Amino acid sequence: MNKFIRKTVASVLLSAILVTSSAPVIASGLPSIIHERNESKHISSGVIHEHIERFTTSGWWNINVIRVDLTNPYTKIQGMIDSNGLSNRNSVSNMVRNTGAVAGINGDYFSYSPLPNSIGTLINEGEVISSPIEKAPYAAPSIFMNNDNKTTIGYMDRSIKVLNKTQGRNISPYTINRIPDKFLNIGLINSKWGAKSFGNRFNKDLVEVVVNNGIVTDIRVDQPAIDIPKDGYILFARGENGNLLKSFKINDELDLDIKVTPNLEDIKFAIGGGSIILKDGIPTLTNIHSGGNNPRTGIGVNKDNTELILVTIDGRGSYRGIGQKQFGSLMKDLGAYDSLNLDGGGSTTMAVKAIDDKEVTLANSPSGGSERRVVNGVGVYSDAPVEELDYIELEADDSFMFANTRRRLTVKGFDKHRNPIPLDSSKLNYTVEGVEGEFSNNQFISKSTGTANITVNYDDKSANSKIHVIDGIDHIDTYMKEFTLEKGGSKELPNFNAYDGNGNRTRLFKEDVQLSVVNDIGYIDDMGIFHANEFDSSGVITAKAGNGVANIFVSIGESKHLDAKNPLVPKSSVERDIKRVANIKNAEGYSIGVTMDTKNLNEIVKYDATSNVKKELNQHDASIFLGGASKDFTNGISNELQFHSDNNYKKRKYKDISFINLNTSKRGIRLTDLTQWDKLQKDLNDLDTKNLILTTSTPVFGSGGFSDIKEAELFHELLREASKKGINVFVVQRHNQTNSQTKDGIRYINLNSSNIINAEGINNLPILEFVVNGSDISFQIRPLFPKK
């Protein structure tokens, strides 16, 4: 619940500022989508969890959606509260776990003072857990579902009467399981509230009338809290209404009559919210107006009343959140026709527990870094019967691997309601096409490179999965660099990471690594557990895979670790880039030189250094000028192609290389010129060359890189997709230093483009040179003016 609402919620019922009777239509469209990732999964019969990560012209949205098929007979919606009652807050994850739901979101707005209590309605199966707000003049909207699952978003009303049959008069409690303002109106609490009454914790003059099985059993003033009867309730008030309650007598017979509009007996579920944000397909606002781009939670129903839609959108960190006015438009975009805004801000939470999952998963990212405890939520439940096996699913622990290593496979069976069905592992039959390989204990061991199309058959059911297999482990490492053990102790060894010379990385299991012990320190058993000797010693456990070598330094007892320079220690492999080599172009080859305009260089160094730069560039067939270049500088440079990496988006082609320039001067593509995203995605899709060189005004990652790390990751993801198609991708970045890094096959090359301010600075002026010989491309970086 956001800060504004917390401050005002106690007086919502009395404030005309937050409550309006009309519903102004809001013209609030949605920003354009730059890129979207959408994943969906059936989590039970008739229930789908959909995760949408949307990059828009306004920033990132992280959207989670639960879609509930209202025509499914095995699915129901219920309000969730803590098992100890409404006055006890709990996290949505715990409420999902404790109530057996398959999914849940946070619910109504609530107040903290003097105890947690919701602002409006909560009804389950015709039982009023928290009473609606009276329809006039302070009504807040609710969503309510009848016994036929017809769902309505609108306003409810209630009538609460207690007839004192002994005295022949009525009283009208104002709330059920909510706290009236300052306790001045009569309230009613029952076992759904919690275990105890209020007593004199907050007000010495609070009057409590205890009713058990319709009979007044106690009348209390300025006394400690008392147990709430399981088969009764407690009336409470202070002030004039407190005096009214004092007129009750012990043994008075009371008759409680609760009516709700619409008919309570026909309400399967209802929960209150802050504002109607979508009505008849038109975005609107009715009640609580919560401004700003914030996390939001909403619930809606489609036009045909066949689907209930539960939505959260995050709004902290990399995610911008959404304005309440736009939230209605988003709900419409997601398929709703009518929608209600629930509590948001730090309360926004969605938790999911698919039928086949053992644990509850937090689907969204709460703005406070962890879940806020709330008073209620909306739970989705499934009671579908378990039937015969309908289908199976196959999943590998990674979609990428090196040849002669393994991936672990998981096969799950389900009936038509998504209930998990146990499988007999002895009946699983695996086959593979596209590569050579073998299977052992639900593991695939590759023997060649390519795309492994794996199929598993189980009786007449089958499922498929693909794994990309490459060769050439060049380097391995692990997080465990060293450890010390007591004499005779043991330690489980870790898994390892493997890299090739193109920066591709994946996990290796211990079974795929050759482990050996250097020096007499102990032994490694078949389970990958090291057992130390019974005497002081030190040595190394060496792991080898392909050309990769990694060492783990081990000390037993009082011995010190060996030095890495010790002749006993094998030489560890290091990460390298197989394309960063100094090659010479052959007769059919060509080359590209990359540097920058050396403005005022001659004046600074006191000789004609610029001519030397031009001479170097003229040795190449094409040139790239980072930051662009003046006519004075390019005069005398005679390349076939000159590509100016300036402040304009542009694309050029030279033989088998495409050049794209991006302006990222505001530390990002969108913030600098968002129209570049559309051009970039189109140009990447249309590439018809084997090689791609992109130039940027700033680095993508690291110091000085994109301020939006998710935009940087998206940029990298798109380049990685191009790389998977066999395109060699290089990103040349203006920076204040010169280096290169290879990540997932993409080369990020920083070139020092700082202004030279003194004669010594000329030694930091680099040139990047690409050489293309047939299908091979390589690069090197060297100083234009090396130190003598």
pLDDT tens for residues 546-585? 999 999 999 999 999 999 999 999 999 999 999 999 999 9
Nearest residue to 692 (alpha-carbon basis) of 592, 781, 586: 592
* Mean of all residue pLDDT scores within the chain: 93
- The rounded distance, in Å, linking the Cα atoms of 495 and 302 is 49
pLDDT higher than 90, residue 9: no
Mean pLDDT of 721-750: 95
Q: How confident is the model at residue 317, as a pLDDT?
A: 87
> In whole angstroms, how far apart are CA 95 and each of 46, 102, 178, 374, 712?
21, 11, 20, 10, 37
- pLDDT grade for 217, boundaries at 50, 70 and 90: very high
Mean pLDDT of 130-134: 91
pLDDT higher than 60, residue 662: yes
Q: How confident is the model at residue 20, as a pLDDT?
A: 33
Nearest residue to 44 (alpha-carbon basis) of 375, 460, 306, 380: 380
**Helix/strand/coil percent split, the chain, to 5:** 15, 40, 45
Those residues whose C-beta lies under 8 Å from the C-beta of residue 668, and which sit 6 or more positions away, are 706, 707, 708, 711, 712
Q: How confident is the model at residue 22, as a pLDDT?
A: 36
Collapsed DSSP state (helix, strand, coil) of residue 366: coil
- The rounded distance, in Å, linking the Cα atoms of 336 and 328 is 9
Cβ atoms of 625 and 616 within 8 Å: the answer is no
Q: Which long-range contacts (CB under 8 A, 24 or more apart) does 35-40 make?
A: 35/677, 35/681, 35/714
Nearest residue to 129 (alpha-carbon basis) of 87, 186, 90, 185: 87
pLDDT higher than 90, residue 212: yes
Mean pLDDT of 18-37: 63
pLDDT higher than 80, residue 67: yes
pLDDT higher than 80, residue 768: yes
Q: How confident is the model at residue 599, as a pLDDT?
A: 86
pLDDT higher than 90, residue 195: yes
pLDDT higher than 90, residue 224: yes
pLDDT higher than 50, residue 11: no
Those residues whose C-beta lies under 8 Å from the C-beta of residue 259, and which sit 6 or more positions away, are 158, 159, 160
Mean pLDDT of 769-787: 96
Q: How confident is the model at residue 13, as a pLDDT?
A: 28
Nearest residue to 569 (alpha-carbon basis) of 522, 491, 517, 647: 517
pLDDT tens for residues 249-271? 999 999 999 999 999 999 999 99
pLDDT tens for residues 453-496? 999 999 999 999 999 999 999 999 999 999 999 999 999 999 99
Residues forming a β-bridge with 644: 625
Mean pLDDT of 662-667: 97
Q: How confident is the model at residue 684, as a pLDDT?
A: 97
DSSP string of 703-744, one letter each residue: TT--S-HHHHHHHHHHHHHHHHTT-EEEEEEEESS-EEEEET
Q: How confident is the model at residue 24, as a pLDDT?
A: 40
**Which of these ranges, 145-159, 179-193, 748-762, has the smallest mean pLDDT?**
748-762
pTM score, whole prediction: 0.91
pLDDT tens for residues 617-629? 999 999 999 999 9
Cβ atoms of 119 and 131 within 8 Å: the answer is no
Nearest residue to 687 (alpha-carbon basis) of 728, 731, 748: 728
- pLDDT grade for 8, boundaries at 50, 70 and 90: very low
pLDDT tens for residues 268-319? 999 999 999 999 999 999 988 888 999 999 999 999 999 999 999 999 889 9
What is the gyration radius of the CA atoms in the chain, in angstroms? 34
Mean pLDDT of 602-614: 93
Mean pLDDT of 353-376: 95
Q: How confident is the model at residue 136, as a pLDDT?
A: 67
